[in-house]
Structure 1
């Protein structure tokens, strides 16, 4: 049996906001949640993420230690 008076208050319908817009309702110990990143504005999900890899990891390692490439 949990001890009384030590657990935080649970709010079942806590609004979640991102950029001032209501996203959804969740259960939380806070009355209101503010998030900076959400599925709709995350670079990975909006295809705005750019990966820049001018030289691969293996090539950098080989170059750093002066090893010959294993490519044939």
Structure 2
């Protein structure tokens, strides 16, 4: 491997929107994420609708669906 071409690999603190926080290794020191393994529907078994741009309400209004 060539030297001096790879970024520094350091400890990274990750914080999720749900409040979960953990540490991992990355080339950045901090990360803020929207979904982690503690709140992702695949791991929790619960269905959550994550809507960042109002797409769910727009779909429901278009097809006259109730909540």
* TM superposition score category, shorter chain reference: 0.5 to 0.7
Q: What is the deviation of 1:32?
A: 1.1
- Count of residues paired in the alignment: 48
Moved over 3 A (4+): none
* Structure 1: unaligned runs, 5 residues or longer: 51-72
> 1:15 touches 1:33 (CA, 8 Å); kept in 2?
yes
* 1:10 match: 9
* Structure 2: unaligned runs, 5 residues or longer: 49-67
Taking only aligned residues, the RMSD between alpha carbons, in angstroms, comes to 2.4
Q: Which has the larger radius of gyration?
A: 1
Determine helix, strand or coil for the equivalent of 2:38: coil
Per-residue deviation, residues 18-62 of structure 1 (Å, max 9, x unmatched)? 028452111111111222111221123333328xxxxxxxxxxxx
Greater share of residues in helix: 2
